[in-house]
A and B are shown apart, each in its own frame.
Chain A
């Protein structure tokens, strides 16, 4: 009953890698990486089971810890990156590449507006931070915060 688990972990790992290379949303890149970590954890658990050794489980806990650390730092970085470019597209960051080899990020699908429209089509939260867009300071009626309150 062990090999199916190992096979599953292999498949999950490959899928995580696939997601890591194909997705462009930074957050989803991180989720793909987490998936890879999960697959590795599964491997450890399977071997722990096979060997009847608790070391494998402890290892999984370690991985969990590291994943949590990674998530915390990654999200902090994402927040900073988002502040810089106001987008989560990972291909906007290519500054480390050779200047002549950098290609512009592929053109976006025109069916999707880049900026959210005024008619919100989903749940939305006010941007975080200490009054980042002047919601509290602004008294004008047509400010989003006022609209929100109204």
Chain B
């Protein structure tokens, strides 16, 4: 069940990502990005991180995509822009990216799952990770409690408190910065008046 879901979501994600990079119509590209994000959210659920799934959908598929679409419309680029057809040399870049994927897959292939896993219950689980997809067993066997939003929140506001606070501050700064940057300059305002 798990693997089926994983394969399904992965397929959707890859197809959607391909759509993002190939669709000439920016709206279509943006929507396929949203699709990819949804598929990723599904994978989060599979990976026992429901909160992440919710957050990703909210932030990416919700806020980010909406704002992106809004800017697209603001700039009247809701139809395929003429320049989209003349991109950089796709073949060359495709080769490079293919090489990158190959190398990454090689790296993943040589990766060993952790030999010693500390379960949430505290009991040590040891075993031969290379032969046995132990982690799926763990999930399937329900030998440990699911990671809950509560446990994530506890972790966030105890061990990672400072990091979270800093991230929040960063967000605030970014908001103010975005406001400042996006404000029209006086010259532009004057231009607007002239135009009217």
List, in ascending order, chain A residues with CB within 8 A of B75's CB. 78, 82, 88
Q: Which of B71, B119, B136 contacts A79 (CB 8 A)?
A: B71
Interface residues as binary, A128-144 with B (CB distance below 8 Å gives 1, 0 otherwise) = 11111110011000000
Let me know if B13 and A24 touch, CB within 8 A: no
Interface size class of A (residues with CB under 8 A): 35 or more
Chain A residue, CB-CB nearest to B94:
A18
Q: A12 vs B10: C-alpha distance in the bound complex, in angstroms?
A: 9
Taking CB atoms and an 8 Å cut-off, the chain B residues in 133-152 that contact chain A are 133, 135-136, 138-139, 144, 147, 151-152
Q: Is A99 an interface residue (CB 8 A)?
A: no
Interface membership of chain A positions 9-41, coded 1 if the CB is closer than 8 angstroms to chain B and 0 otherwise: 011111111110111110110111011001001
The CA-CA distance from A1 to B137 in the complex, in Å, is 9
Our pick among B85, B86, B168, B182 for the contact of A76 (Cβ within 8 Å) is B182
Contact among B51, B85, B98 with A109 in the assembled complex (CB-CB below 8 Å): B85
User: Using a Cβ–Cβ cut-off of 8 Å, how many residues does chain B contribute to the interface with A?
Assistant: 103
A5 smallest CB distance to B (angstroms): 6
Given the known A-B contacts A1-B135, A75-B178, are A22 and B87 also in contact in the complex, defined by CB atoms under 8 Å? yes
A7 CB-CB contact with B under 8 Å: yes
| CB–CB A10/B108 < 8 A | yes
Within 8 A of B (CB), among A80-136: 80, 82-83, 87-89, 91, 105-114, 116, 121-125, 127-134
Query: Can you report 28 residue pairs joining A to B where beta carbons are below 8 Å apart?
Result: A1-B6, A2-B133, A2-B135, A6-B111, A7-B10, A10-B105, A18-B93, A21-B93, A22-B88, A23-B84, A23-B87, A25-B26, A25-B84, A27-B30, A35-B36, A41-B52, A48-B47, A49-B47, A54-B152, A62-B167, A66-B167, A69-B173, A78-B71, A112-B85, A116-B79, A124-B76, A129-B192, A133-B195
The 10 closest A-B pairs by CB, nearest first: A134-B196, A69-B174, A112-B82, A19-B21, A10-B104, A76-B178, A106-B86, A76-B182, A108-B82, A109-B85
**Known pairs A54-B147, A69-B174 / 9 extra A-B pairs, C-beta < 8 Å:** A27-B77, A58-B164, A62-B167, A69-B173, A75-B182, A82-B75, A89-B83, A112-B80, A134-B195
